[in-house]
Each structure stands twice: as structure tokens, then as C-alpha cells.
Amino acid sequence: MAAVQDSAVVVGGGVQARPAAQGRWASIWAKHGAGYMFLLPWLIGFFGLTLGPAIASLYLSFTSFDLIRAPEWVGTANYVRIATADPKFAAAMQVTFLYVVLSVPFKLSFALLVAILLDRGVRGLTVYRAIFYLPSLLGGSVAIAVLWRQLFAGDGLINSLLAQFGIEGPSWISHPNYAIWTLVVLSVWQFGSPMIIFLAGLRQIPTDMYEAASLDGASKFRQFYKITLPLLTPVIFFNAVVQTIDAFKAFTPAFIISGGTGGPINSTLFYTLYLYQEAFGNFRMGYASALAWILVLIIALFTAFSFLTSRYWVHYDD
């Protein structure tokens, strides 16, 4: 009787076990399957277009590869050459850092200044905001780079304007000392989107802080340095990181203004332009992959450095 009961239990258990196993898979699927179904396109893209290629490019950076023959392992030769024997790399680094160091602070200062002027209940705010934002939207196009090439040419608009004051300007785009400045001006011209972010940040500052400061007799300048600027540091930090990374990656304006050469005398040879020349001009795909990884390293180091130093100057109120 007991045995029968036992076997019944066993049989019963066995009978139950199969649906339970199926049920477990079914319930796992019911619980997690839908999520992965919705995520599927992104997952395919992540493995096929991001992770896979990133690993492949790390491998290629240790090879010599011209697209025709199979990649040939060369060890660290690409990196050694970049570090020690490539004057164009050195030039590209110099130009890119100069561009970052000049364009980002000018652009952000201008964006902040205009945002502060606009924030204080100026009439026609939306009109001004629209006008200042328009260049940000158009600035990445070839048309604007073409326009810039004309503006700063020897017989361009800027020199025509200067001539009315009796000043004879040089051909800005073909002078190695000035060419980079035309690109900096183009970047500053697009100050609209960081300005909008600053405006949103300024609106977050409670007005009663200013009222209290006014009652205590703090001047407008003092209010700016003691209230506005500290409370805005998170937004300044954010804008600085985003704009710097963007500046490291700039390509189109330098390509169009220099006709793809990075000239005159490599003075507009942005890092990405050099990478493009190596990859798609000289078909040194292995070398260009090494250049790409060095760019990643630079951006990663910069970002890490910004976050580490942000503790000392970015004000977070929790």
C-alpha cells in the first residue's frame, strides 16, 4: 500500500515534472522573452556593428592591411611609428588640441554670456533664441563650410568689409597661421545649442536666492559670482565635456575648407581628417585603426580627467 502510494507519488511526480519543465521554459520566456524581442534589433546592431567591429579594429591596429591582401600581423609597429616617427601625426595632434583649446572656451563663454542676457526677462526672447540657434542647426553642412571658404578667402566677404575701413586682409584660409582661426570662428558661430542648455540651467536657479542676496546688499556682480556661477557649474561641466568631445571629432569644415588636404602646411589637419587620409586615401587600414584607438584613448583620458577634477569645482547640491 505504502509502495503503491510511493509509486503513485513518483508517477504523479513524473507526470507533473514534464509540464513543470516546459512550464518553466514557458514562464522564463513569458517573463524575459518579450524584452529580448523588443531589444533584438539593437542587440544585433550592438554585436554586429559595434562590439564585433571594435574588436576587429583593435586587431587590425596591430596589422598592416590594405583591403586587398589579408591583414599581416606587425605587432606594435603601427603604434611605435605613430609615437616616434610620424610628423603628420604630431601635426594633427597639435592642430586638434589647438582647435579644442581655442574653440571650446570661446564658444562656451559666448553661449553663457548671451544666455545670461536672455534670461533676465528680455522681450522677444523666443525670436533672439531662434536666431542664435539657427547657425547650430545649419553649421554642420557642406553649404556652410563652402560659405566659410568664400568669407575668408583673399577676395572674400570679410576682406571686402575690412577694405571699407582701409584694412587689407590676408587670404585667411590659405595662410598657415590664420586658417585654424577661420575654423574656430565657425565653431563659435554655432554657440546656439550650448546657449539653450545654459538657458535651461539658469531657469533652475531659484529666484528667492537673488532676492535674499539683494536684501543683504549684494551687487549684481557679486550675485553672479556667488550664486549664478556656482549653481550653474554642473551645466558648464556638461557643456564643456560634450563640446570638447565634439571638437575632437570635427571633420567636415576642415575637409571642405582645405579641399581635403588639411593644408596649408597641415595647419587644418584635424585628427579625423588625417585618419580619413590614411584609411581611404592611402588605404593603410591597420595604421588608421591604430589612429582610431589612440583617439578613443585621448577622449577617454580627457573624460576621466574631467570627471576627476569636477569634484573640485562642480557644485552639486543633493
Footprint of other proteins on 167-226 (CB under 8 A): 189-190, 193, 196-197, 199-200, 202-205, 207, 210, 214, 220, 223
Q: How far is the CB of 76 from other proteins (least distance, A)?
A: 18
Nearer to other proteins, 2 or 165 (CB): 165
Nearer to other proteins, 16 or 178 (CB): 178
Q: How far is the CB of 134 from other proteins (least distance, A)?
A: 6
Residue 136 in the binding site for other proteins (CB under 8 A): yes
Residue 275 in the binding site for other proteins (CB under 8 A): yes
Of positions 5, 16, 27, 141, contacts other proteins by CB under 8 A: 141
Q: Which of residues 74-103 bind other proteins (CB under 8 A)?
A: none
Count of residues that interact with other proteins, criterion CB under 8 A:
106
Residue 155 in the binding site for other proteins (CB under 8 A): yes
Segment near other proteins (CB under 8 A); pick from 86-94, 134-142, 166-174, 176-184: 134-142
Residue 44 in the binding site for other proteins (CB under 8 A): yes
DSSP string covering the chain, please?
-HHHHHHHHHHHHHHHHHHHHHHHHHHHIIIIIHHHHHHHHHHHHIIIIIIHHHHHHHHHTTEE--SSSPPEE-TTHHHHHHHHS-HHHHHHHHHHHHHHHHHHHHHHHHHHHHHHHHHTT-TTHHHHHHHHHHHHHHTTSHHHHHHHHHHTSTTSHHHHHHHHTT-----GGGSTTTHHHHHHHHHHHTTHHHHHHHHHHHHTS-HHHHHHHHHTT--HHHHIIIIIHHHHHHHHHHHHHHHHHHHHT--HHHHHHTTTS--STTTT--HHHHHHIIIIIS--HHHHHHHHHHHHHHHHHHHHHHHHHHHHH-----
Segment near other proteins (CB under 8 A); pick from 16-24, 96-104, 234-242, 307-315: 234-242
Residue 119 in the binding site for other proteins (CB under 8 A): yes
Segment near other proteins (CB under 8 A); pick from 89-97, 112-120, 170-178, 307-315: 112-120
